[in-house]
Amino acid sequence: MSRICQITGKKALTGNNVSHSHHKTKRKFYPNLFKKKYFIEDEKRWVVLKVSASGMRLINKIGLKKALIDAKEKGYIGKY
């Protein structure tokens, strides 16, 4: 499974490591991902999601069901 948040769609960005002499080498900046279990009240079942820290905040703010529906519309998850 790739390192992509299933709620916000955040994924790795590329950039440079910059040394003291300003020699640049490529690197990746990975999102702050967690594997988290959520309980869907309506369906009485658990769902395991790979979620970023900002994705968790979004779920707390708008609710799990709405966040899953929005993520499915944007194509971040197939089915939950």
Measured CA to CA, the distance from residue 67 to residue 56 in angstroms comes to 10
pLDDT of residue 1: 58
Enclosing domain of residue 31: 13-74
pLDDT at 79: 84
Q: Residue 44 maps to which CATH number? A: 2.30.170.40
Mean per-residue pLDDT, 46-64: 97
Within 13 Å and on the Cβ side, how many CA atoms surround 6?
20
Q: What is the pLDDT of residues 61-72, one digit of tens each?
A: 999 999 999 999
How many distinct structural domains can be found in the chain?
Answer: 1
The contacts of residue 39 (CB under 8 Å, 6+ apart) are 45, 46, 47
Q: What is the pLDDT of residues 37-48, one digit of tens each?
A: 999 999 999 999
CB within 8 A of 53, min separation 6: which ones? 32, 34
pTM above 0.75, yes or no: yes
